[in-house]
Amino acid sequence: TQLLEQSPQFLSIQEGENLTVYCNSSSVFSSLQWYRQEPGEGPVLLVTVVTGGEVKKLKRLTFQFGDARKDSSLHITAAQPGDTGLYLCAGGGWGGSNYKLTFGKGTLLTVNP
């Protein structure tokens, strides 16, 4: 069974601070996706990384996929209250099963004004 462990589970910071969320596994994934979920809504895809060592930047968010394709990180610079939410990482299966995503339990981020 593939497992993805996210840390920290909870994170409460002040507006303007930087933060990093980690996603680790002993399994190798074809891709790694990061989602953000707000209360009462479904997750929304933020990014997909598919190449080991890949780094993607989206405004204040930086995503990295580990060289061995087993881990990933999400770094947010100068966090804002609008960044508050549940951040989920998900690893894709291989070959014909790459649609089958394995999700971590999530990091609940609260950014206080």
Partner 1 sequence: GAGVSQSPSNKVTEKGKDVELRCDPISGHTALYWYRQSLGQGLEFLIYFQGNSAPDKSGLPSDRFSAERTGGSVSTLTIQRTQQEDSAVYLCASSTSGLTGEQYFGPGTRLTVT
Q: How far is the CB of 3 from partner 1 (least distance, A)?
A: 9
Nearer to partner 1, 28 or 44 (CB): 44
Instruction: Extract the tokens encoding 34.
Output: 């990061």
Nearer to partner 1, 76 or 90 (CB): 90
Q: How far is the CB of 1 from partner 1 (least distance, A)?
A: 11
Nearer to partner 1, 39 or 113 (CB): 39
Burial of 112 per CB tally in 10 Å (0-12, 13-18, 19+) = exposed
Residue 58: partners with Cβ closer than 8 Å, 6 or more residues away: 46, 47
Residues near partner 1, by CB under 8 A: 4, 40-45, 48, 88, 90, 96-106
Q: 25 with 9: CB under 8 angstroms?
A: no
